[in-house]
Amino acid sequence: MPRFSYISHLQCPKCKKIYAHTEKQHLCSCGAPLLVDYDIDSLRAQWHPEDLQIRGTSLWRYHELLPVQSAHHVVSLSEGMTPLNSMPKMAESMGIKHLLMKDEGSIPTGTFKARGAAVGISKALELGVKSIIMPTNGNAGAAWSLYASRAGIQATIVMPVEAPEITRKECTIAGANLYLVDGLISDAGKMVAAELKEAPDLYDASTLKEPYRIEGKKTMGLEILEQLDWQVPDVILYPCGGGVGLIGIYKALRELQRLGWIGDRLPRLVAVQAEGCAPIVKAWEEGRAESEFWPHSKTVAFGINVPKALGDFLILEALKATEGYAIAIDDETVLQEQQRVARLEGAFICPEGAATFAAARQLRDKGWIKAEETVVTLNTGNGLKYPNTVQSDAPLLKPGTKLNDNRHKTK
């Protein structure tokens, strides 16, 4: 009998301790995040790439490799199968032959956080959770608030006052309890931890403190491979904050290998950070297995302003295992690249996504990316969520004024 999910257990990647997925679980007793494992041996005989052809386009098309056991618990807004667009003019400007952008800008809530929220909230519902709490840099809080509403779960969100303003409004319209903090996501995290001590019935949905968000983000990796007809690209560049997407993509690749859907070769994974917050890059350059807290972090790419990631050792492991790279980009370059993508390719991407293009350009210049390689950048969100990254200086005219025709003649 085929099962809806082939989840088997949770395991600590550090000390290897095993936990049951049928109960609420958070961190391992050793403090590390838990990862979901599946009964891949049984699944291999049951499931084949052709089976996907008749399925819907939401990420639930991969339900066998997702943790929700009953289809009744799936909370979905049809998230998933975002476009993998070719970016020929950007490719030409960098001297790369095949440049593709996985564009998460069209997903519900406008960022790939919807994937983590869809799977995380569905699993929370399956586990009987009534109320969740989480710190966020904005986008995750927005996505989890909205999916929580759809599931009938109450959400409490704490975010930095500097987080993109629209994300506050998303939490508010969803009916979440929203708190702003005059500080960083790490400060929000401490306040959430304090609240959890007082109210143990709350479900901690902090990044990597519940094991299922990563399973949702993993589907980006599954989709990229399916969209490339299971041909492995050479490089995938990811804007890395907490690193959940990167750890998730790496996990997806390993699971596809175990299923026999792809071969031994893996894409080289690149963690792209901001110069104003680059703990993973520093650790990578120093050859360390873990990162250190990055003081006074600051960047326009708010989603990657994470001074210390709980899963840092998993990010660094994925980079090492795939012969990847970690690189930091300054804010000015990020904004220039964001504009270039809009002008050359017509896509208004988020600054985090723009950082991956800047990184591809720099790595091509260094020769680390070769001209003939297939390169995938991840645009993790829609530029519309960050209106403040663009200054518009259009002239304001009285009705009937003649336009200055110098402007439309240039171009």
The residue ranges that bind Zn ion (CB under 5 A) are 12, 14-15, 17, 28, 30, 32
**Please, what is the minimum distance in Å from the beta carbon of residue 16 to Zn ion?**
7
CB nearer to ligand PLP: give 40 or 319: 319
CB nearer to Zn ion: give 17 or 366: 17
Q: Does 381 bind ligand PLP (CB under 6 A)?
A: yes
Which amino acid appears at position 405 of this protein? D
CB nearer to ligand PLP: give 162 or 373: 162
Q: Does 240 bind ligand PLP (CB under 6 A)?
A: yes
Give CA separation, 87 vs 84, 99, 337, 363, in Å: 9, 6, 13, 17
Token pair recorded at residue 51: 């089976």
In whole angstroms, give the CA distance from residue 309 to residue 305: 10
Listed ranges 71-79, 219-227, 237-245, 317-325: which one lies at the site for ligand PLP (CB under 6 A):
237-245
Q: Choose, by CB under 6 A, the member of 135, 239, 279, 324 that binds ligand PLP.
A: 239
Q: Choose, by CB under 6 A, the member of 244, 269, 316, 369 that binds ligand PLP.
A: 244
Which amino acid appears at position 85 of this protein? N
**Please, what is the minimum distance in Å from the beta carbon of residue 141 to ligand PLP?**
10
**Please, what is the minimum distance in Å from the beta carbon of residue 242 to ligand PLP?**
3
Task: Please choose, from the candidates 341, 350, 101, 372, the residue with its C-alpha nearest in 3D space to the C-alpha of residue 223.
Answer: 101
Task: Please choose, from the candidates 138, 135, 133, the residue with its C-alpha nearest in 3D space to the C-alpha of residue 165.
Answer: 138
380 contact choice in Zn ion, ligand PLP, none (CB below 5 to 8 Å, kind-dependent): ligand PLP
CB nearer to ligand PLP: give 244 or 363: 244
CB nearer to ligand PLP: give 255 or 352: 352
111 contact choice in Zn ion, ligand PLP, none (CB below 5 to 8 Å, kind-dependent): ligand PLP
**Please, what is the minimum distance in Å from the beta carbon of residue 243 to ligand PLP?**
5
CB nearer to ligand PLP: give 61 or 385: 385
**Partners of 154 in beta bridges:** 131
33 contact choice in ligand PLP, Zn ion, none (CB below 5 to 8 Å, kind-dependent): none
Residue whose structure tokens are 């099962």: 3
Q: Does 233 bind ligand PLP (CB under 6 A)?
A: no
278 contact choice in ligand PLP, Zn ion, none (CB below 5 to 8 Å, kind-dependent): none
In whole angstroms, give the CA distance from residue 408 to residue 324: 44
Give CA separation, 166 vs 189, 258, 362, in Å: 21, 41, 31
CB nearer to ligand PLP: give 66 or 304: 304
Contacts with ligand PLP in 136-155 (CB under 6 A)? Answer: 139-140
Contacts with ligand PLP in 291-350 (CB under 6 A)? Answer: 303-304, 350
CB nearer to Zn ion: give 14 or 98: 14
Which residues of the shown chain bind ligand PLP in the complex (CB under 6 A)? 111, 113, 139-140, 239-245, 303-304, 350, 352, 380-381
